């Protein structure tokens, strides 16, 4: 099976590349790492930060490289008070918190022709829960909100949490989800918590990025082992 593994930053895929032998293909102002792993062909990339970049990379992985499923690995800020730095969360659904045409009477996160929330693949979510049970990991699930801004304000954090009932916030998941839904490709979005998306989040993010990203990447590779 051809499996895409996407992160936003180099730190989010580096733990995978350390364990694999791969070839590199340059395309669309990016690099794609192609590796054979346990009867699968892995297409690995980091998109660069933001919804546009992640949409482009996800589309290339599917349309050019033929990815049959897409797994996203990375970090996020916590909105749910039960989530702490280092916890791992997968998205049951995703929403764009910065999409706003409310001036025309529509809800936040909506534009004509798309749903506000994109739901992730039920079978991949179930697989993730199986992996977590085998590893003895407390895997959580919830709604992830994405937008082209790093959230480090308590006011913005509370607004996103209340408006979308979201549990975590980041900058790529919802756009990747929309690409996958539009192209009919099952997807799974995993995030390790690196900060609490409020005052001082930028300092927590820098401190915990590498460790949290490794936790997420290691879990994704365990999922590939079971596909």
Residues labelled catalytic: 12, 195
Contacts of 99 (CB under 8 A, 6+ apart): 108, 109, 110, 111, 147
Contacts of 4 (CB under 8 A, 6+ apart): 42, 43, 44, 45, 58, 61, 62, 65, 67, 69, 70, 71
* 71-86: b (≥16 Cβ within 10 Å) or e: bbbbbbbbbbeebebe
Distance CA 210, CA 217 (A): 10
DSSP at 134: H
CB 185 within 8 A of CB 60: no
């Amino acid at each position: 099976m051809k499996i895409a593994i996407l992160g936003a930053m180099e730190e989010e895929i580096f733990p995978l590349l350390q364990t694999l032998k791969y070839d590199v293909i340059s395309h669309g102002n990016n690099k794609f790492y192609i590796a054979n792993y346990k009867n699968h062909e892995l297409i690995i990339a980091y998109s660069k930060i933001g919804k546009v970049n992640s949409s482009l990379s996800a589309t290339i992985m599917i349309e050019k490289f033929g990815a049959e499923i897409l797994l996203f690995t990375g970090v996020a800020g916590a909105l749910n008070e039960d989530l702490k730095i280092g916890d791992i969360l997968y998205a049951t659904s995703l929403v764009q918190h910065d999409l706003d045409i409310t001036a025309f009477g529509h809800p936040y996160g909506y534009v004509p022709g798309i749903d506000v929330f994109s739901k992730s693949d039920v079978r991949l979510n179930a697989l993730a829960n199986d992996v977590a049970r085998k590893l003895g990991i407390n895997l959580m699930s919830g709604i992830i909100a994405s937008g082209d801004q790093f959230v480090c304000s308590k006011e913005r954090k509370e607004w996103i949490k209340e408006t979308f009932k979201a549990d975590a916030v980041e900058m790529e998941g919802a756009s990747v989800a929309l690409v996958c839904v539009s192209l009919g490709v099952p997807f799974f979005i995993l995030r390790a918590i690196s900060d609490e998306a409020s005052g001082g989040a930028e300092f927590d993010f820098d401190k915990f990025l590498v460790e949290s990203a490794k936790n997420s990447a290691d879990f994704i590779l365990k999922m590939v082992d079971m596909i």
